[in-house]
Amino acid sequence: MTSPPDPLAHIRDLFDLDDDVVYLDGNSLGAPPKAVAERVQHVVRHQWGRRLIRSWSEGWWEAPERVGNRVGRLVGAAPGQVVVADSTSVNLFKALMGAVRNTDRMEIVVDEGTFPTDGYIARSVSELTGLALRAAPPEELDLRDTTAVVLLNHVDYRTGRLLDMARLTEQVHAVGAKVVWDLCHSAGVLPIELDALGVDLAVGCTYKFLNGGPGSPAFIYVPKAGQSAFEQPLTGWTGHEVPFAMAPEYTPDPGVTRARVGTPDIISMLALDAALDVWDHVELADVRAKGLRLTSHFISLVEDLPGLELITPRDEWRGHQVSLRHPEAKRIMTQLIERQVIGDHRPPDVLRFGFAPLYNTFADAERAADTLKTLL
C-alpha cells in the first residue's frame, strides 16, 4: 500500500525520535524536539550556572507571560491573555473559583465524561463555595438561569470526541453563565479561536501535543475583558501588582499576571519555550488536516478487525486520537508496547492511539495497524 503524501514530513526531522519505535502516545506525553536538549543545557550551564540570580531580570521573571503569548497564538488568544504556570489542575481551580466568585447563581455544571481531575476540582470548588455540582452530557446540558459556570473538555480524553466550542459557548452564554474550556487534548492539534468565540476562561497542559516535556507547566487564558473581575483564590506574590514591593496587602496585577501564583518553574518553562519553536514552521490548519487524514487512515485499517469497537467519531468531530474498545485491551496494549508500538490503555477496555501530526507518519499508522492485527 502506498502511504498518502505527507505535507509536514520535513517537520518530523525537528524531533528526536527512535525510528524503531512507533510512538502513538503524544496525546499523553509529546516527543522532544531536538532543540530542547540544547536549550535546557544552555539554561542550566549559562543562565543558571553563569548568570545566576541575574537571570531573573534577564528574562526569567517575565517568562510565564512571554511563553504564554506563544501558546496564546496557538489557541486564538491575542497577547496579554495567557500565562504559563502551575499544572492544569491548579489552573482549573483558579478558573472555576474565579468564575463563581461573587455569583448569586446556584450550580456548577461539568461534562459527565470529564477527565477525572476536572471533576475532582469541580467537586472541591462546589464544596468550598456551597454551589451544587451537576454532571451532564454535553448534548443535553440542561442549562438554567441558576447555572454559574460550565466546565467542558474540548476533546474527550477517552473517546477522542471533539465538542463544538462555538455552539456550546453560545449556549452557555445564552443563560448568562460562564464557560471554562479544558484544552488539554486540543491545544496544538487544531485551530482554536478563544478570543473570537468570547470564551470566558480556558486551561490546558503543554506536555501533550505542545511537546513541552514531562510535567511542563500548564496555561490559563483570561481574556482582557474579564481580567479586572478575575479574582482567583491563590493570591501568591508573583500575581501581585508590584511583587518586589513586598507589601503586606495583596493587590492583584491588573492584567493576566494575576493568574500567576508562585515562583515559575524556569527549566521546564524554557524547555517548553524551545519546543514551541517548531510552531514557527507550521500552520495549525495543516496540522489539523494531516491529523484528520492520519486518524482516518488508521481507522480504515483497523475498524473491521475482529473484536474491536471504534468509539472515536468517524466524522470530523474528533481530536487526534483513535480509541478502540476490546475486552482484552490491557493485554493487547502490553504486547503492542513489547513490539515497539506505543499507545496506551485506559481501564477497563479502551486502547488509545494518539496521532501527533508534527511527527507521526502514515507509515506509523500502517505499522501500528499491522501489529494490532497480529495480536487479535
Ligand X SMILES: Cc1ncc(COP(=O)(O)O)c(C=O)c1O
Give catalytic residue positions. 115, 182, 207-208, 352
* Nearest CB to ligand X, comparing residues 213 and 240: 213
Residue 88 engages ligand X in binding (rule: CB under 6 A): yes
Q: Which stretch binds ligand X (CB under 6 A): 74-82, 112-120, 259-267, 349-357?
A: 112-120
* Nearest CB to ligand X, comparing residues 43 and 122: 122
Closest CA to 106 of 87, 126, 86: 126
Say if CB 95 and CB 203 are below 8 A apart: yes
15, 23, 93, 157: residue in contact with ligand X (rule CB under 6 A): 157
229-238 burial code (b ≥16 CB/10 A, e <16)? ebebebeebb
Q: Which stretch binds ligand X (CB under 6 A): 114-122, 223-231, 250-258, 340-348?
A: 114-122
- What is the separation of C-alpha 120 from the centre of its chain, rounded to a whole number of angstroms? 18
* Nearest CB to ligand X, comparing residues 29 and 43: 29
* Nearest CB to ligand X, comparing residues 117 and 335: 117
- Per DSSP, the residues of 198-267 read T-SEEEE-SSSTT---TT---EEE--HHHHTT---S---GGGBSSGGG--SS--B-SSGGGG--S---HH
Closest CA to 131 of 110, 103, 91, 156: 103
Residue 121 engages ligand X in binding (rule: CB under 6 A): no
Residue 118 engages ligand X in binding (rule: CB under 6 A): yes
168, 202, 218, 332: residue in contact with ligand X (rule CB under 6 A): 218
**Residue 204 CA neighbour count, 13 Å, CB half:** 33
Say if CB 217 and CB 86 are below 8 A apart: yes
115, 181, 221, 230: residue in contact with ligand X (rule CB under 6 A): 115
87, 296, 335, 340: residue in contact with ligand X (rule CB under 6 A): 87
Residue numbers at the binding site for ligand X (CB under 6 A): 87-89, 115, 117-118, 153, 157, 182, 184-185, 205, 218
